[in-house]
Amino acid sequence: MTLTTPEPDGGLVSRVRAVDGVVDVYGSPLQQISGILAAATGRSGERQADIAVSVRDGIPRVAARIATDPEYDTPETARRVADVLAENSPEDATITVQIARIH
């Protein structure tokens, strides 16, 4: 299976956000810094969500940073997000889900 490109209308980010217990999907730290700088200089302050995709040593890596709702079991929410990422990634991909915030 090939990786689904994150798209605003029904893409991978939207699928991750639709998982029960997910409050938000965060971009990479580098993206967050560039968004803060853009807002400070009067450019677009719109934060971008991101599913990080890379290849290391020939192995695809897919990573998401999420915020979870404390009323849901956080480890179970992370597992469901990992399942969504795995369903939309190559079979040999390494999947990582980071809990950036619980709120």
**Segment 17-49, tens digit of pLDDT:** 999 999 999 876 555 454 555 556 666 545 456
Cα 36 from Cα 64, distance rounded (Å): 20
- Over range 72-90, report the average pLDDT: 97
Instruction: Note the pTM of the prediction, 2 decimals.
Output: 0.75
Half-sphere exposure of 95 (CA within 13 A, CB side): 17
Name the most confidently modeled range: 10-14, 44-48, 81-85: 81-85
Please check the confidence at residue 9 and state whether its pLDDT lies above 50.
no
The pLDDT of 47-70, averaged and rounded, is 88
Classified as helix, coil or strand, 84 is: helix
The pLDDT assigned to 52 comes to 87
Indicate whether 72 pLDDT > 80. yes
